[in-house]
């Protein structure tokens, strides 16, 4: 049976296994931290050479420890780790935190060492944090464990913190301490040999002491698991993440539109968007959001009132709030009537409400007491710039008095009071977040509000269509058997058709007369493209002629294309492919690309210029839900074109969404596709005229 993570985070007894090297003894700092934080259990130093460390009896090996040991902290040279872990297993230790470095982070040898350690851990049913980590912290007074080598024991609080980088972990704990932010548990997960960020998310989900989860991540071990777990956890507890490190798609990616468009970080953004994780861009924003979430409710609406004693910062706050999509409705008439009773007439009775410079604690209190009952607002932002004549602590006390009990989101700005002033300290100690700059408040409100909107949406459903996967399989098998790297043209469309995606049939012609007969059969107007010899970018050599209306057009187009192909130096027998021209349709592009971390991403955009020049495309991680399909369509900047621009009838969006879902199913069921382009897929008001016109699959044989 595998141990629960409680063995690591709530141990009754801890062994600190250090070593003595030429450079001195290692592991002393961690032992010192454990003692300093007054760990609520037994601590056993283990060291082959020392008999006493920090005045405590030390044992040569873990085997010599007389009591049972829940958790062992391992800080020995990399080559000694495996032996120590074996001993721990034999001793019956339940959890391990391996701080030692020199494992998978240093290359192949290290990776091998790590796998060997992991095997031992698993054989004994132990759980492992690390290796190459900073340690773990539990601030619960019943535990009080600081098993790290840092110098900060964080304040008690309700934030669970997962960090992949030890250095970032320490930096973040230091800054958090200065900002008055408290943690429940900190886990530096290092190389994630056993316990991953996903495990930690699950642990925090059920941890009654954790309300908010912060993550610093550099990569995702298993994005698919992350999706499932984070989607579930984020409905109950907000997850805020900084993800650094960019996704570089391999060289192969550039072989298709979809691949080249899936730029840096598209996968991460899609993942967070789909799972309800709040992604912030910087560590600073991580703190800004964490401060708000740790004491304030998430804004119920985007309506904010700003109360200030200084015009300038009020204007800055307004700019930032509006730019971030928040709203600032004017004060209601009853509120203004109340305010006029004591605020001088020169004040500005709008939003922002500028009480002017003389306003002190009393004015803030009276004003906020009135404004907090104005149900136009769900967030209240008091801004105070301390003039010399006003006691800022008094202002802080009054703001707290007025707003302590209010069930709205309160974020305070003290601008120019100092980076940490007594007024700011007072508010923080009393559970009211306070910021130096109004822009940080605006961004924080917007981030948390948008998050709230996202997680409160009903969940999407996965759909499975009845398809002819055998037929698609047969086409793929045949292509693989021939050693092809791509499936194009008719065969590509046939795969789509097998999955119930509408396609526009092709008719081929190798001479002018056949072409004319075929065009009449298709019905004018038609489109003609070069079929053979195969040309990669047809439009660049002028290999496509559209809107051919009469027989003569066909004849002339056939000749023109033939000449162009010869002029372009293309060799081989010449033939053309013709399709019906759908008028009134809008060209869209659908596709799939494979992200090295996230696997298949589904892409959607408007055709041609929109995709290639304006880069107006959206990605989601596969598989799509019905809601995901709807969102990917609507998230485009160019969406208005699909939805009835300038009096045109809207295109049939149900068909677009269903097509994306069918594409998603195709991608799910065939792992051999590396990239797919459906370009164009014609969107039309008339369902029957919606169709894939051309497609290309890049396949890989593995």
Query: Which residues from 576-635 bind a copy of itself, rule CB under 8 A?
Result: 609-610, 612-614, 616
Smallest distance from a copy of itself to CB 615, Å: 8
Smallest distance from a copy of itself to CB 62, Å: 25
Q: In this structure, what are the phi and psi dihedrals at residue 641, rounded to the nearest 5 degrees?
A: -65, -30
The label of the residue with tokens 């920090």 reads 54
Sign, Cα dihedral of 145, 148, 150, 156: negative
Only one of the segments 112-120, 220-228, 639-647, 684-692 lies at the binding site for a copy of itself (rule: CB under 8 A); that segment is: 639-647
CA–CA distance, 577 with 416 (Å, rounded to integer): 71
Smallest distance from a copy of itself to CB 60, Å: 26
Subset of 58-87 contacting a copy of itself (CB under 8 A):
none
Among residues 385, 394, 489, the alpha carbon closest in space to that of 437 is found at 385
Q: Which of 67, 90, 319, 654 binds a copy of itself (CB under 8 A)?
A: 319
The yes or no reply on residue 173 touching a copy of itself (CB under 8 A) is yes
Q: Which of 256, 309, 622, 679 binds a copy of itself (CB under 8 A)?
A: 309
Q: Which of 143, 168, 181, 492 binds a copy of itself (CB under 8 A)?
A: 168
Smallest distance from a copy of itself to CB 449, Å: 20
Subset of 431-470 contacting a copy of itself (CB under 8 A):
436-437, 439-440
Reading the block at residue 541, the tokens are 């050599």
The yes or no reply on residue 281 touching a copy of itself (CB under 8 A) is yes
CB 305 within 8 A of CB 314: no
Smallest distance from a copy of itself to CB 628, Å: 23
Nearer to a copy of itself, 349 or 508 (CB): 349
Cα torsion through 273, 278, 282, 285, rounded to 10: 150
Smallest distance from a copy of itself to CB 637, Å: 6
Nearer to a copy of itself, 334 or 640 (CB): 640
Among residues 160, 150, 154, 158, the alpha carbon closest in space to that of 176 is found at 154
Subset of 362-421 contacting a copy of itself (CB under 8 A):
385-389, 415-420
Nearer to a copy of itself, 168 or 370 (CB): 168
The yes or no reply on residue 525 touching a copy of itself (CB under 8 A) is no
CB 372 within 8 A of CB 325: no
Nearer to a copy of itself, 308 or 503 (CB): 308
Nearer to a copy of itself, 209 or 587 (CB): 587
The yes or no reply on residue 149 touching a copy of itself (CB under 8 A) is yes
CA–CA distance, 33 with 500 (Å, rounded to integer): 63
CA–CA distance, 373 with 558 (Å, rounded to integer): 75
Q: Which of 175, 474, 488, 672 binds a copy of itself (CB under 8 A)?
A: 175
Smallest distance from a copy of itself to CB 29, Å: 6
The yes or no reply on residue 669 touching a copy of itself (CB under 8 A) is no
Could you tell me how many residues of this chain bind a copy of itself (CB under 8 A)? Answer: 75
Interaction mask 224-253, a copy of itself, x per CB under 8 A? ------------------x-xxx-------
User: What is the Cβ-side half-sphere exposure of residue 28, based on CA atoms within 13 angstroms?
Assistant: 11
13 preceded by a cis bond (ω within 30 of 0): no
The yes or no reply on residue 106 touching a copy of itself (CB under 8 A) is yes
Nearer to a copy of itself, 41 or 525 (CB): 525
DSSP E strand stretches across 616-672: 617-621
What's the per-residue H, E or C state across 565-620? HHHCCCCCCCEEEEEECCCCCEEEEEEEEEECCCEEEEEEEECCHHHHCCCCEEEE
CB 14 within 8 A of CB 43: yes
Smallest distance from a copy of itself to CB 310, Å: 3
The yes or no reply on residue 341 touching a copy of itself (CB under 8 A) is no
Among residues 690, 344, 696, 334, the alpha carbon closest in space to that of 534 is found at 696
Q: Which of 341, 481, 483, 540 binds a copy of itself (CB under 8 A)?
A: 540
Q: What's the CA angle centered on 634, arms 632 and 639, to 5 degrees?
A: 120
Q: Which of 2, 49, 63, 151 binds a copy of itself (CB under 8 A)?
A: 151
* Cα separations in angstroms, 634 against 11, 264, 627: 50, 22, 11
């Amino acid at each position: 049976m595998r141990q629960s993570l409680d063995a690591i985070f709530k141990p009754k007894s801890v062994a600190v296994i250090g070593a003595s090297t030429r450079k001195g003894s290692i592991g002393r700092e961690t032992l010192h931290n454990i003692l300093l934080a007054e760990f609520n259990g037994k601590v056993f130093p283990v060291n082959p050479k020392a008999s006493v460390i920090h005045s405590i009896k030390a044992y040569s090996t873990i085997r010599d420890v007389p009591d049972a040991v829940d958790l062992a902290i391992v800080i020995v040279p990399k080559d000694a780790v495996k032996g120590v872990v074996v001993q721990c297993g034999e001793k019956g230790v339940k959890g391990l935190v391996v701080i030692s470095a020199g494992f998978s982070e240093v290359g192949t040898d290290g990776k091998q060492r790590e796998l060997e350690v992991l095997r031992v851990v698993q054989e004994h049913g132990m759980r492992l944090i690390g290796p190459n980590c900073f340690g773990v912290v539990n601030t619960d007074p019943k535990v009080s464990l600081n098993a790290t080598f840092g110098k900060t024991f964080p304040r008690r609080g309700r934030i669970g913190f997962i960090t992949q980088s030890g250095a970032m972990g320490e930096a973040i704990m230091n800054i958090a301490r200065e900002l008055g932010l408290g943690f429940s548990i900190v886990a530096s997960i290092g190389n994630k040999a056993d316990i991953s960020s996903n495990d930690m998310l699950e642990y925090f989900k059920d941890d009654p002491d954790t309300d908010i989860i912060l993550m610093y991540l550099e990569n995702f071990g298993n994005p698919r698991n992350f999706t499932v777990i984070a989607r579930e956890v984020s409905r109950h507890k907000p997850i805020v993440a900084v993800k650094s490190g960019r996704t570089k798609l391999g060289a192969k990616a550039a072989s298709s539109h979809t691949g080249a468009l899936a730029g840096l970080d598209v996968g991460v953004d899609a993942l967070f968007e789909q799972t309800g994780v709040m992604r912030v861009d910087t560590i600073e924003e991580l703190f800004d959001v964490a401060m708000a979430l740790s004491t304030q409710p998430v804004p119920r609406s985007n309506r904010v009132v700003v109360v200030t004693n200084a015009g300038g910062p009020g204007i800055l706050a307004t700019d930032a709030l509006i730019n971030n999509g928040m709203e600032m409705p004017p004060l209601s008439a009853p509120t203004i009537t109340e305010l006029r009773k004591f605020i001088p007439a020169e004040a500005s009775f709008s939003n922002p409400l500028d009480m002017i410079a003389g306003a002190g604690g009393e004015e803030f209190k009276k004003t906020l007491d009135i404004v907090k009952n104005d149900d136009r607002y769900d967030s209240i932002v008091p801004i105070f710039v301390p003039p010399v004549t006003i006691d800022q602590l008094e202002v802080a006390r009054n703001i707290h008095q007025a707003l302590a009990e209010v069930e709205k989101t309160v974020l305070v700005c003290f601008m120019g009071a100092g980076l940490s002033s007594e007024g700011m300290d007072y508010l923080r100690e009393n559970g009211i977040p306070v910021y130096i700059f109004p822009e940080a408040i605006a961004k924080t409100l917007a981030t948390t509000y948008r998050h709230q909107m996202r997680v409160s949406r009903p969940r999407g459903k996965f759909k499975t269509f009845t398809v002819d996967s055998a037929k698609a399989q047969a086409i793929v098998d045949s292509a693989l058997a021939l050693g092809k790297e791509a499936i194009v043209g008719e065969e590509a469309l046939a795969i789509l058709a097998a999955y119930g995606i509408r396609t526009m049939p092709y008719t081929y012609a190798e001479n002018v007369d056949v072409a004319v007969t075929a065009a009449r059969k298709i019905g004018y107007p038609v489109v003609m493209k070069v079929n053979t010899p195969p040309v990669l970018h047809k439009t660049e050599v002028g290999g496509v002629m559209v809107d051919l209306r009469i027989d003569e057009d066909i004849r002339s187009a056939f000749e023109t294309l033939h000449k162009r192909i010869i002029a372009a130096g293309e060799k081989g027998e010449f033939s053309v492919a013709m399709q019906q021209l759908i008028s009134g349709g809008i060209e869209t592009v659908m596709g799939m690309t494979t992200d090295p971390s996230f696997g298949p991403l589904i892409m959607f955009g408007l055709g041609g210029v929109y995709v290639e020049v304006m880069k107006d495309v959206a990605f989601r991680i596969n598989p799509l839900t019905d809601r995901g399909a709807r969102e990917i369509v609507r998230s485009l900047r160019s969406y208005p074109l699909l939805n009835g621009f300038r009096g045109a009838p809207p295109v049939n969006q149900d068909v677009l969404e269903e097509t994306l879902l069918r594409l998603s199913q195709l991608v799910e069921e065939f792992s051999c596709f590396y990239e797919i382009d459906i370009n164009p897929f014609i969107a039309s008001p008339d369902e029957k005229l919606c169709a894939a016109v051309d497609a290309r699959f890049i396949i890989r044989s593995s």
